[in-house]
Amino acid sequence: MLRWDGCVNVRDLGGLPLAGGGETAYRVVVRADWLPGLSEAGRQALVEYGVSLVVDLRPDREHEADEISPLPVPIVRQGMDPRPLQPAWDWPSMREAYLALADHYRAELAQALTLLGDAEPPAAIHCAGGRDRTGIACGMALWLAGAEPEAIAADHALSDENWAPFNEAWLAEAPDAAERERRRRVSQPAGRTLVDVLEEIEHREGIRSLLLGAGADEASLDRLVARLRGEP
């Protein structure tokens, strides 16, 4: 975990086991929650870590609460808005949510990973909570790099751990039983769910094929994969 004041869900994708041996490299990709919420100390930590680019997966409507002071590094937006897909975020399960987001926003995911591959490492990617949209993008990158599926699941599950205290309060504040059940459903641990979705996409069409078909630059994807694998 990276302790950047103002955020609760920041970590480097380095140190995850690769199939066949080795582990993912540090200081290539940082995944995070709401980076505009960083304090001055948190922003300084981001700069000191060397982040050269921030990819923001939030749509325009989610920028209303941002601080007036911009982040001290370039930001590129690739908005993925769940509301057109499910206005109340009332999915039967997170599996359906992840499949819908990955399918509907394949072009945004393709561009996000292209940007990560083009940036001088490390680059950061975030949404609001740093779990669902960020998790899909990072999961795809780790899958292409050959990270062990269980390692991808374990990394994604860290977001559940980081948000657990806040989710408990969120559940307690639900105005009625129906809303409490909805909140419980969408805050269920999603580590294994993400890997199940990645496996389904891989079986159906291939994650690399999905991204390339949606406009990802092949050389940029290859560069991102090589960096994550620690290859020159």
> Domains of the chain: which residue ranges?
11-228
Token representation of residue 87: 């206005």
Give the CATH architecture of domain 11-228: Alpha-Beta Complex (3.90)
For residue 114, pLDDT beyond 80:
yes
The whole-number pLDDT of residue 103 equals 96
Q: Please report, for residues 19, 35, 112, 165, 202, the alpha-carbon distance to residue 127 in angstroms, rounded to integers and kept in the order given.
A: 28, 8, 12, 19, 24
Which burial class, exposed, middle or buried, applies to 207 when counting CB atoms under 10 A from its CB (0-12, 13-18, 19+)? Answer: buried
CA distances from 50 to 5, 9, 36, 221 (A): 16, 18, 17, 21
229: its two tokens? 């694998």
Higher pLDDT, 219 or 191: 219
| pLDDT above 70: residue 49 | yes
Model confidence at 65: pLDDT above 80? no
137 burial (CB, 10 Å; 0-12 / 13-18 / 19+) is buried
Q: Per-residue confidence at 69, pLDDT binned at 50, 70, 90?
A: low
**% residues pLDDT > 90 (the chain):** 76
Single-letter amino acid, residue 34? W
pLDDT value at position 179? 84
Paired tokens of 7: 């955020």
